[in-house]
Structure 1
Amino acid sequence: MNNTPLIIFDWDGTLMDSEGEILTCMRAAIDDLRLEPRSDDELKNIIGLGLQEALRTLYPQGSSADLLQLTARYRYHFLESPRQPSELFAGARAMVEELHEAGHFLAVATGKGRNGLNKVLQQTGLDEYFHITRCADECHSKPHPQMLHEIMDHLGVEADSALMIGDTEYDLQMASNAGVKSLAVTYGVHEKQRLLDCQPLDCLDSIEQLHSWLKEKVNLAA
């Protein structure tokens, strides 16, 4: 097996400041179908889950047909409707570039669908830096460990050489379920105590703190 450190990032709320865009698209999809509105807290809570799991959480009594329609409308608004795209958090690009330059394996494990992730990877130009990515429409949704298992198997990396970084308890629970260490960031959607309850290695409040932590603990200069 390969001993090269593997750093796995969540995308939304960890590398990209996309909370507002996700909420806007979800509200628009809900309005399209004239469903009962959901609060900002309810919508924020499902960020990180796969789309099907997120919609079932929002509308547990909804029919399969309703959920399929809602899925289609959300994807339309995210992929096709004109609006200002989300931006990476300040410092995220430099951090990813430095990790890549240092020779670490880099991956993404996200609740996004494949088309959505490909869109933002191309928009940001970060697609060249990740060795592998996994999405919720090609694996089980977080917190199931399938995404991490497939990433590690593809790269030939054992769990003790991997680190999962995310802003939701779903990310941290997925890591625990896969036997992988985790690192939490608080600038995304879940509050700090909710993250601490998952017992990550550390809980960091900014990209700058995350970058510094990785420099010190993962030894970027090696």
Structure 2
Amino acid sequence: MPSRRYRLVVFDWDGTLVDSTAAIVHAIRASAADLGLPVPSREQASHVIGLGLLDAIHRAVPSIAREQMPLYVQRYRYHYLKEDAALEAFQGVPALLDELAGAGAWLAVATGKSRAGLNRALDQMGWTGRFLTTRCADEGIPKPDPWMLRDICEELGLEAAEALMIGDTTHDLGMARAAGSDAVAVTYGAHPREELVREPALAVVDSVAELRDVLLGWIR
């Protein structure tokens, strides 16, 4: 357990707050099939979740040609949006956010989603206004670059050490390490435990209930 307390808790979105991993993996794979490109495995598709969309596509489907990118993005959005309205927060997440806010924590989001996508998701979840601030991949440099975390801390007048990053991918943990923030990894999202433990984390938890147990003792 860390001796310090954290003022700010920054959450990743997909696979951390919202159960969207399967929908993203399907959209990545179906889009490749639509274009006649090699279809990545589910493991390959899930590994790129959290990156900016263009970087994710290049890594998941490395043989894609430049001229195919616009159509791939179009097909990805088509497949993802078919599932988007049905996506839900992981069980226990809304209550956890309420408890953290009630304990005095500042809450933020750093996500690989686009601004339009996050705003739509916040509205669908009824979470508009729940977070002090949010950052998206298309607003700056995507994960694992530290830009999102550093920009959030700068806006809120905090040091990176006062922020705790919560994420389900090595991209989230790498961003936190580069920014100088501590992190907690969750294993119920996109990356398996054996990948997550390659990056430093204060804890690696298997459920929202376990996440709650570790977080509430670290808020000041």
| Identity rate, percent | 44
For 1:129-144, list aligned pairs within 5 A.
Answer: 129-144=130-145
Whether 1:50 aligns to 2:52 is yes
Do 2:10 and 2:107's aligned partners in 1 also have CA atoms closer than 8 Å? Answer: yes
Do 1:4 and 1:157's aligned partners in 2 also have CA atoms closer than 8 Å? Answer: no
Do 2:23 and 2:83's aligned partners in 1 also have CA atoms closer than 8 Å? Answer: no
- Tell me: CA distance 1:193–1:4, structure 2 relative to 1, closer, same or farther (3 Å): closer
Q: Which residue of 2 aligns with 1:94?
A: 95
Whether 1:164 aligns to 2:165 is yes
Any runs of at least 4 consecutive aligned residues in structure 1 with deviations exceeding 6 A, and if so which? none
Do 1:93 and 1:126's aligned partners in 2 also have CA atoms closer than 8 Å? Answer: no
Q: Which residue of 1 aligns with 2:107?
A: 106
Matching residue within 71, 74, 86 for 1:72 = 74
Do 2:38 and 2:61's aligned partners in 1 also have CA atoms closer than 8 Å? Answer: no
Deviation at 1:26, TM superposition (A): 2.0
Deviation at 1:82, TM superposition (A): 6.3
What is the DSSP-based 3-state SS (H/G/I as helix, E as strand, rest coil) of the residue aligned with 1:17?
Answer: coil
What is the DSSP-based 3-state SS (H/G/I as helix, E as strand, rest coil) of the residue aligned with 2:139?
Answer: coil
CA RMSD of aligned residues (A): 1.7
| Paired letter, 1:127 | T
Unpaired segments ≥5 residues, structure 1 = none
Deviation at 1:46, TM superposition (A): 0.9
Do 1:29 and 1:70's aligned partners in 2 also have CA atoms closer than 8 Å? Answer: yes
What is the DSSP-based 3-state SS (H/G/I as helix, E as strand, rest coil) of the residue aligned with 2:38?
Answer: coil
1:3-40 deviation line (CA, Å, top 9, x unaligned)? 97010000111111101111222233223322221111
Deviation at 1:76, TM superposition (A): 3.1
- Tell me: CA distance 1:12–1:83, structure 2 relative to 1, closer, same or farther (3 Å): closer
Q: Which residue of 2 aligns with 1:199?
A: 200
| Paired letter, 1:6 | L
- Tell me: CA distance 1:109–1:140, structure 2 relative to 1, closer, same or farther (3 Å): same
Q: Which residue of 2 aligns with 1:22?
A: 24
Do 1:49 and 1:141's aligned partners in 2 also have CA atoms closer than 8 Å? Answer: yes
Unpaired segments ≥5 residues, structure 2 = none
TM-score, reference length from structure 2: 0.92
Aligned length: 216
1:148-177 deviation line (CA, Å, top 9, x unaligned)? 111111111111110000011000000001
Do 1:19 and 1:44's aligned partners in 2 also have CA atoms closer than 8 Å? Answer: yes
Do 1:4 and 1:105's aligned partners in 2 also have CA atoms closer than 8 Å? Answer: no
Deviation at 1:197, TM superposition (A): 1.6
